[in-house]
A = this chain, B = another copy of it.
Amino acid sequence: MANLKQLAQSLGLSITTVSRALDGYSDVSAATRQRVQEAADKAGYRPNASARRLRKQRAELVAVTLPSEPGHIGPLHFLDMLSGCAEHLAGAGLNLVIAPVPHGESELDMCRRFVDGRRVDAMLLVRTKRHDERVEFLQSRGFPFVTNGRTESAIQHPYIDGDGFSGFHAATLRFHRDGHRRIAHVGGPQEYFFAHARRQGWEAAMRECGLATDLDLQQAPTEQGGYEAALALLARSDRPTAIVCATDEMAIGVLRALREVDGGLSISVIGHDDLPIGAFTSPALSTMRMTGGNLGRSFASLLLRTIAGEPAETLQELHAIEFVDRDSHRLPPVAA
């Protein structure tokens, strides 16, 4: 309704003075500033966002690309993270737009639209691949971005990631200490960095223990994927006595398979992510999670700092993984 021009006119002042009064510049008298402030409050004046964005050459927006596998939109804990991120970005005047990949368009095309159209000031990339074309594109444009998950890019970039290698390494060693000798790995597609790192951690531990690494399956990182992998494992003559799962969703699918085939928890299982729902499955799911507190806040902070021009090397967070011990990992190795 009210814009700067009308406000200035009603006050008998210039647009410049009103603008600078509201922005708290020192070259407007205290009396005038107060008069302007009161009039602005009364009129409910808010600067037009589009106009300010054009003038300041900032979109005041950050986009997060959502990988849209049919019917399944990334890990379920995403929304909590995004919400936290959006809240902290808002504190700096930025809003978060969610950008699922439209039908018939690639994630790369979408990045191009957002970057070249100056629709956003930075991008947040999730589900990074080891070789990620989005990362390469943004780097070639010199456009600010932060990833959730590392890549194998030669050039450094800001990221937040959990140390999946160490986590899965430790989990596997722990199963070994508990007496397990046939420890399977149910992983996700290896082009994803997180899936690869976790598998590498499992594999390294197995080698250190002198165990074979043939109990290893890859599936879609969903309940269904875990379910199918578990069915395949249960059909083998050399069944595992423990299963390390790349994600909680896969682990939940594994638990379901165990129930259907063996009627209950016949094999130790551990997942990763600490989905809230894990506490409510039967048996309650043992899992791992990234340390480091409020993830959304961290992403927001990294985004702001990369927009501000801080070098990538100072914007990389690798968080340790901790165990969340519940009931699904305690089975003795002879149970099968």
Q: List 9 A-B contacts (CB under 8 A).
A: A50-B50, A66-B83, A79-B79, A84-B100, A86-B99, A87-B103, A96-B98, A259-B282, A277-B277
Interface string of A86-99 (1 = CB under 8 A from B): 11001100011111
Q: Are A90 and B99 in contact (CB under 8 A)?
A: yes
Interface: A113 (CB within 8 A): yes
Q: Which residues of chain A in 77-124 are interfacial with respect to chain B, using CB atoms and an 8 Å cutoff? A: 78-80, 82-84, 86-87, 90-91, 95-103, 112-113, 116-119
Interface: A61 (CB within 8 A): yes
Known: A54-B51, A117-B48. A95 touches B90 (CB 8 A): no
A80 to B223, CA, bound (A): 16
Interface: A44 (CB within 8 A): yes
Q: Which residues of chain A in 52-86 are interfacial with respect to chain B, using CB atoms and an 8 Å cutoff? A: 53-54, 57, 59, 61, 63, 66, 68, 71-74, 76, 78-80, 82-84, 86
Q: Are A48 and B282 in contact (CB under 8 A)?
A: no
A252 to B47, CA, bound (A): 47
Q: Are A79 and B87 in contact (CB under 8 A)?
A: no
Considering residues A66, A86, A112, A280, which has the most beta carbons from chain B within 10 angstroms of its beta carbon?
A280
A118 to B52, CA, bound (A): 11
Instruction: Name the one of B83, B116, B280 contacting A44, with C-beta atoms under 8 angstroms.
Output: B116
Q: Are B223 and A47 in contact (CB under 8 A)?
A: no
- Main SS at interface, chain A: mixed
Instruction: Name the one of B74, B87, B102, B279 contacting A91, with C-beta atoms under 8 angstroms.
Output: B102
Q: Are A61 and B117 in contact (CB under 8 A)?
A: no
Instruction: Name the one of B48, B98, B113, B256 contacting A280, with C-beta atoms under 8 angstroms.
Output: B256
Interface string of A206-240 (1 = CB under 8 A from B): 00000000000000000100000000000000000
Chain B residue, CB-CB nearest to A84: B100
Q: Are B259 and A116 in contact (CB under 8 A)?
A: no
A277 to B252, CA, bound (A): 9
Interface: A35 (CB within 8 A): no
Complex interface: chain B residues within 8 A of A87 (CB) = 68, 100-103
Considering residues A103, A118, A259, which has the most beta carbons from chain B within 10 angstroms of its beta carbon?
A118
Which 9 A-B pairs give the minimum distances between C-beta atoms? A282-B282, A46-B117, A50-B53, A50-B54, A46-B116, A79-B79, A83-B100, A49-B119, A95-B97
Complex interface: chain B residues within 8 A of A83 (CB) = 66, 68, 73, 98, 100
Q: How many copies does the complex hold?
A: 2
Interface: A255 (CB within 8 A): yes
A140 to B78, CA, bound (A): 35
Q: Which residues of chain A in 16-64 are interfacial with respect to chain B, using CB atoms and an 8 Å cutoff? A: 44-51, 53-54, 57, 59, 61, 63
Chain B residue, CB-CB nearest to A105: B90
A116 to B44, CA, bound (A): 8
A280 to B113, CA, bound (A): 39
Interface: A153 (CB within 8 A): no
Chain B residue, CB-CB nearest to A259: B282
A186 CB to closest chain B CB, in angstroms?
A: 15
Interface: A253 (CB within 8 A): yes
Interface string of A236-279 (1 = CB under 8 A from B): 00000000000000001101100100000000000000001101
Interface: A1 (CB within 8 A): yes
